[in-house]
Amino acid sequence: MAQASSRIRNFSIIAHIDHGKSTLADRLIESTGTMSTRELKEQVLDSMDLERERGITIKLQAVRLHYKSKDGEIYELNLIDTPGHVDFSYEVSRSLAACEGALLVVDAAQGIEAQTLANVYLALENDLEIIPVINKIDLPSADPEMVRKEVEDVIGIDASEAILASAKMGLGVEDILEAIVKKIPPPQGDDEKPLKALIFDSKFDSYKGAIPYIRVLDGKVSKGTNIKMMSSGKLFEITEVGVFTPNMTIVNELKAGQVGYIAGSIRNVRDTRVGDTITNAERPATEALPGYRKAVSMVFCGLFPVEASDYDKLKDALEKLQLNDASLMYDNEVSAALGFGFRCGFLGLLHMDIIQERLEREFGFNIITTAPSVIYRVNLTDGTQVSIDNPALLPDIANIVSIEEPMVRASVMLPSDYIGSIMELNQEKRGTFLNMDYITAARVNLQYELPLSEIVYDYFDQLKSRTKGYASLDYELIGYKEANLVKLDIMLNGEIVDALSFIVHRDKAYARGRKLVEKLRGMIPRQMFEIPVQAVIGSKVIARENIKAIRKDVLAKCYGGDISRKRKLLEKQKEGKKRMKQVGSVEIPQEAFMAVLKMDD
């Protein structure tokens, strides 16, 4: 039965944002007749609105293509998409594990970017066959030869057969399809062996329940099969088996080497853990697949419903999002200022942004987000160490011996013109220079050790603005280092607002405190009393501004004819206040809680 899988190819596409991955995927779908041009509204793989707006892939998607090769055979090509942003390397590793090969798409005018490089290394670790594709050769500034050399020099793979393409113009698409068939090995595996399928993704459908996306390694699965989740031992009966065309389409069975989905009234989202192995309950496999290492949350923030009564609904929404996004972590959090909410862990800032936006858009929540934090390790006088992801929970200063912060090794690829400017930025960000490689005469790969908290703060924005958008960044966690860190609290009307506290290097505390206090003064509307806004470290005030008291808010006239109208005016005013959070005697607009982060002006 190994014959069936000899005509299957499973592959993904590795590309930097904007290097043309989605357009190329569209062309592949189109030219294999999987979908007509008309059906293919635009870039079907980026099916989330958010993805289309931002021009990036967040959630990995899969699609099955049928391609009639020049050898006369029809091949089943399964494309599993990968996200192209630094936050999502975990998702990339998931899709790569379900493939035997990958297209490396590089922009002919821009060359390799930091994140592409990181993903290629991931693919090589997974023993994937890499097919280099130099895209956008139609651009006037395209320099395919330079890029070909870059691929060889930087990645160290043979690029002599790199395919020159323009997905936009439809150039090279046929060559790419042929290369997929010829170069990428067919999946190994045996239909007759006990079922072994890897869950590489899942989604929740309100009718069908949790739907795992699977890659079958051995055996087969069809409607009626009783399956077992190997990590939990839970049993389910399969009610539907299908593939992505790219819409979900029912098929009779999925066999070794194939990619598709299964459904089986799996109610509980926790039962379809990405990375788990599915096997046949009656004829189980003896050993599970290696699975995935747990996604590491690097950035944490508090999410609070504006309406306290939305707490349970928010919890449900997070649970649903987590089903589609195993890298999202959340736990209960109670804030003196904001009440009951959730402490959430994200892969990075973009990830955080996206989750927040999806909660607002798809679930219609009004939420308050607190400033992001990293995990600090705090060494206490009693010899123990605690990890905190919430500045408000930092132990009393008297009990702290030292604080350690997470450090990353950051690679920045940039045109050499901007080296000075980015070195300066890294200096400001408390970075330590590690290395600098010239990729070509005009481009360098700059490596620094940087505190993660500095990257979280406004590094991306700075990087972009200082290089006119030409730099790309990748980073990996390398460990913890002790630093002179302090907790900066904000006091409004003499009371600490826990949700506004953050941890900062002592040398930067004054400037950050000053800026934040000024910003808050501008954001918090005038109220009945003058409100002092203070930044404090311990008991020491380092910055202060005053929000002057409001002095006029009155109905000058109110006689028989206008009583209704005036009452309604007050009702409207009351309604408007609902967007504010009452903290002690002060009303704070929601945006103020994010002010800590957005101080780059």
Partner 1 sequence: MPSLYVHVPFCVRKCSYCAFYSLPLGGEGSERGNIFKYLTGLEREIEYCYTEAPAGVSSLFLGGGTPTVLNYQELDSLLKLIHNRFSFRSSVESLSIEKTVEANPGTIDQEKLAVLRHYGMNRISLGAQSFNDDQLQSIGRIHTSADIELGVKLIREAGFINLNLDLIFGLPGQTMEDWKTTVNRAVSLTPEHISIYALTLEEETPLGRRYCENSPSKHDNASLPDDDLQADMYGWASSFLNSQGYIHYEISNFAQAGFEGRHNLSYWQGEDYLGLGPGAVSCLNGIRVKNVQDIDLYRNNLVSGAKSLNNGEVEYLSQNQRISEYVMLGLRTTKGIKINLFEEKFKMNIQDIYGYKLVNYIDRDILSLEDGWLKINPAYLFVSNLILQDLIL
Which residues of this protein are in contact with partner 1, per CB under 8 A?
527-528, 550-561, 563-564, 566-567, 570-571, 573-574, 577, 585
Least gap, CB of 578 to partner 1 (angstroms): 11
Nearer to partner 1, 178 or 587 (CB): 587
Strand-pairing partners, residue 301, are 344
Cβ within 8 Å of residue 337, ≥6 positions away: 497, 498, 499, 500, 581, 583, 588
Nearer to partner 1, 140 or 561 (CB): 561
Least gap, CB of 570 to partner 1 (angstroms): 5
Least gap, CB of 528 to partner 1 (angstroms): 5
Tokens 């006689």, residue located = 559
Q: What is the DSSP string of 263-288?
A: E--B--GGGS-TT-EEEESSS--SS-
Nearer to partner 1, 36 or 564 (CB): 564
Distance CA 139, CA 146 (A): 14
Q: In whole angstroms, how far apart are CA 7 and each of 16, 255, 528?
A: 29, 12, 75
Q: Are 47 and 22 in contact (CB under 8 A)?
A: no
Least gap, CB of 304 to partner 1 (angstroms): 22
Least gap, CB of 308 to partner 1 (angstroms): 16
Structure-token pair, residue 84: 């192209």
Distance CA 347, CA 338 (A): 24
Q: Is 543 helix (H, G, I), strand (E, B) or coil?
A: strand
Q: Are 374 and 406 in contact (CB under 8 A)?
A: yes
Alpha helices (H) in 437-523, listed in sequence order: 452-454, 460-466, 506-523
Beta strands (DSSP E) in 347-457 are 367-369, 376-380, 385-388, 400-415, 432-438, 443-451
Least gap, CB of 491 to partner 1 (angstroms): 18
Nearer to partner 1, 233 or 576 (CB): 576
Nearer to partner 1, 336 or 555 (CB): 555
Nearer to partner 1, 540 or 552 (CB): 552
Nearer to partner 1, 332 or 582 (CB): 582
Least gap, CB of 551 to partner 1 (angstroms): 4
The DSSP H or E segment spanning 353 is helix 349-361
Least gap, CB of 588 to partner 1 (angstroms): 15
Distance CA 202, CA 24 (A): 24
| Number of CB atoms found within 10 A of residue 322's CB | 18
Nearer to partner 1, 74 or 528 (CB): 528
